[in-house]
Structure 1
Amino acid sequence: MAKDTTIASIESLSIAWSPQDSPWRQSAFVKVTTADGTIGYGEASPMNGGHHSLQIINDMAALLVGCDMFDQAVHYDRLLHKFIKLGPEGAVTGALAAIDIALWDAKGKVLGLPIYKMLGGAWRTEIPFYASIGGNAERSADDVVRVVKARLKSEAPAAIKIRWDGDRSRQDVDIPGDIAKAKAVRDLVGHGFPLAFDANNQYSVGGAIRVGRALEDLGYIWFEEPVQHYNVRAMGEVAQRLDITVSAAEQTYTPQALVDIINAGVRMVQPDIIKMGGITGLMQCAAICFAHGVELVPHQTQPVIGHLANLHVLATLMHQTKPAEYADSSGRMDVGFANPPKPQDGKFTLPSGPGLGLEVRETELKKRLR
């Protein structure tokens, strides 16, 4: 008997994993249920707790209930253009991402297939990761070394990225100190270990070139978002004047904007699956990158739903040039899932179950609703 794949309900879920979580620390999930009871889960960007995307999801839900979930591409474009005057960048594409991932999850469960199979198959189901370590703008060089050493010991990652996460309204605050921290980490890991440096948009063009040349001497493999993300011309200038690979596009939300940053001269791009349209959006990015000969190394900081969705896409890419990002290793979200993804020997193994392959503990999520 054929299943009824009509969308029966779409629920936006604001999850606080701890009673102490501030609104900005919460997760933004979406739950899609079909008429036959199939359930799919997705996730929106957690910026400001994802509350803006959740409100838009509530508005989008009214337009999707009663529709067939397999008309997903039509729904995607219709919703984007219905809400386009709200952005379309940021909260709108985050809302679309959550719904899109949930629909892919539900479709996989109906068909009995993991998402990577529905996307055409996996080149690999074991995916190496890099440990993404934030908060280094305020740390001393010794403290940066301490936190890097701890992640190396606990996770055995394939690479390390040190992030600054500082005040984006200030530029070139402590260039000698930043270079000293980069050198201290290189001294810790030795010259053969892959390292990356994420400036989080904190340099002027001149400052970025100065830091980038130091990173080249230290053997770092990429330099992420050295200048403000919205200054596409400046990002391209830095990329073209340095030998180190300059990456950007974590804060790029549409395929058209991705083409603009590639045309500016950036040759490694990092769109985020839960910021710019979900699995459908990231697959569009993959096609663009393939056509332009550009590396696709998606940004991704959320450790469960967003992380698994990202891994399903990465599994399908023929040329996976860099490891996947793994930022939050705290395990604080694990309580909500029976089989949260866990790193082992520097890599993640994709689950073979249908959809995302994730078993959600709905009772635990309900306890944490806000």
Structure 2
Amino acid sequence: MKITNIRVTHVNVPFDAPFWWTGGLYPGASKSIIEVETDEGVVGLGEAPWYHFGEVIKSEIAPALIGADPLDIADCESRCVPPWQITANTGEGAASVAFGAVEVALWDIRGKVFGLPLFKLLGGAVRKQIKFSEYFSFRPEHNGAGGEMTAEAIVDYCQRMQEEHGSTIFEGKLILGDPELEIRTVRLLRERLGEKAQIKLDSNMQYSLTTARWLLRELEPFNIRNYEDPVATFEEMAALRQHSIIPFSTHVPDLKRAVALGAPDNFVCNFAALGGISKTLKFIAACEAMGKGFWCYSNDLGIMTAAYLHVSAATPLITESSQSLFRWQVGDVIKNGPFRQTNDVVTVPEGPGLGVELDPDAIRHWASEFEKNGPMSHFHDPANPKHHRTLPLN
């Protein structure tokens, strides 16, 4: 079997309403969908975390892989990714991330060739119901959706998710530059959702160490399950650890520093960003050996989410809920997408490989949105493209 072509399609899939994060309003996902075609008619699906990695795939990865054996992942990687000494010296890791997106498709091909779901290729399922959190944030109203711009509105939204979908796990960004508003919102969440609900928070590194010390002291009575990136650096998290028992997580996959400093406690990562599924499994094993937790990223479409489902099914360490923005996604590129949780869980697909199929009409539609509008900015108000909002760092 040989790789004959790698197709890259850029897509825009917006949320029903944008949400506030440290960079401003976040309107949705601009992704690259990867189709690795073979001479035997088997096609593998992958997903790049941002569209510019798709450009790297088109210009660098695809030419290197034409004619390669898709089942020989090590050979494929050696054709595309420079030795670590080179990337360490140059700081250029785009090839690793771009290949990581393609590598997901190679695993999909492998599963289809052997007629097995990915989780069986990875050793079998230790669970088939995979936990995901609901998400909350301050969101302006947009075409009848969103409108959660007060503490009370966010709590009403979460309580509705609890009542309509059986949700008990909630994660969110309370990022308007006002830590007192965050404290008030969390207090109301705990009162209304009850003691058994999990509450996780994420500040996207918005707080200074001084503010974070005070903030986490005030939040501690509300039994916060995890706080992602409360401050900007691992060193500051290590200092903050001296003042708080709340666990910390990060998207920055620097395990050596986390072990040396004692913080953060958990990593939350996209598989392509780690270099693919194979490297993700090695990273997770290292986390387990070093006493660190791991779960999966949010804001991915159905292909990468399927990879999360299979790896989580086959990995005993992933016991915490992964992040999810499923409820806000207005569409997907896969048939029957997007995934959405009921009673906190999504069932792992049982079909061969990733167990998902592209929806041709959907991918054409979302590709046309990218072609018409270009990539969605995550740093501006989409209703006022010339306006850039910088949130105050307290």
Under TM normalisation by the shorter chain, which class is it? 0.7 to 0.9
Q: CA 1:244–1:77 in structure 2 vs 1: closer, same or farther (change >3 Å)?
A: farther
Amino acid at match of 2:237: M
TM superposition shift of 1:175: 1.8
**1:81 Cα deviation after fit:** 1.2
Partner of 2:380: none
Q: Structure 2 length normalisation: TM-score? A: 0.80
CA deviations over 1:69-107 (Å, ceiling 9, x no partner): 112123225423178377444x44431221011111111
Contact 1:94 1:275 in 2 (8 A): yes
Question: What is the alpha-carbon distance in structure 2 between the residues aligned to residue 313 and residue 119 of structure 1?
Answer: 8
Map 1:58-77 to 2 at 5 A.
58=58, 59-77=60-78
The answer to whether the 8 Å contact 1:197/1:222 transfers is yes
Give the aligned partner of residue 111 of structure 1: 114
* 1:235 aligned residue: 237
Output the aligned Cα RMSD.
2.6
Give the AA of the match of 1:189.
L
Give the whole-Å Cα distance in 2 for the aligned partners of 1:309 and 1:190.
Answer: 32
1:261 to 255, 258, 269: 258
2:72 maps to amino acid:
D
1:344 paired residue number? 342
Counterpart code for 2:348 = L
For 1:182, the equivalent position in structure 2 comes to 186
**Aligned residue for 1:275?**
273
Cα 1:339/1:113, change in 2 over 3 Å: farther
Q: In the aligned structure 1, how far is the partner of 2:312 from the partner of 2:76?
A: 24
CA contact (8 A) 1:337 1:361 kept: yes
- Equivalent residue of 2:189, what SS? helix
Q: CA offsets, 1:296-346, max 9 Å, x none?
A: 122232241111111111111223331122213235224641465342332
Flag structure 2 segments of 5+ consecutive residues without an equivalent.
19-25, 141-147, 372-394
Distance 1:341 1:332 in 2: 11
CA distance in 1, matches of 2:175, 2:91: 25
Identify the range of structure 1 (348-357 vs 336-345) with the bigger mean alpha-carbon deviation.
336-345
Q: Retained in 2: the 8 A contact 1:304–1:333?
A: no
Whether the 8 Å CA contact 2:217–2:244 is kept in 1: the answer is yes
Distance 1:95 1:164 in 2: 32
Give the total of aligned pairs.
347
Matches within 5 A, 1:213-362: 213-228=217-232, 231-248=233-250, 250-252=251-253, 257-265=254-262, 266-334=264-332, 336-338=334-336, 340-362=338-360
Match of 1:154 in 2: 164
- Give the number of the structure with larger relative contact order, counting CA–CA contacts within 8 Å between residues 6 or more apart: 2
- Asked if structure 1 preserves the Cα contact closer than 8 Å seen for 2:326 and 2:338, the reply is no
SS in 1 for 2:40: coil
Query: In the alignment, residue 67 of structure 2 is paired with which amino acid?
Result: G
Identity of aligned residues (%): 26
Deviation track 1:144-168 (CA, whole Å, cap 9, x = no partner) reads: 21322233233322410121356xx
Amino acid at match of 2:68: C
Equivalences for residues 35-50 of structure 1 within 5 A: 35-45=39-49, 50=50
Contact persistence 2:302–2:337 (CA under 8 A): no
Distance, in Å, in 1 between the alignment partners of 2:127 and 2:66 is 36
TM-score (structure 1 length as normaliser): 0.85
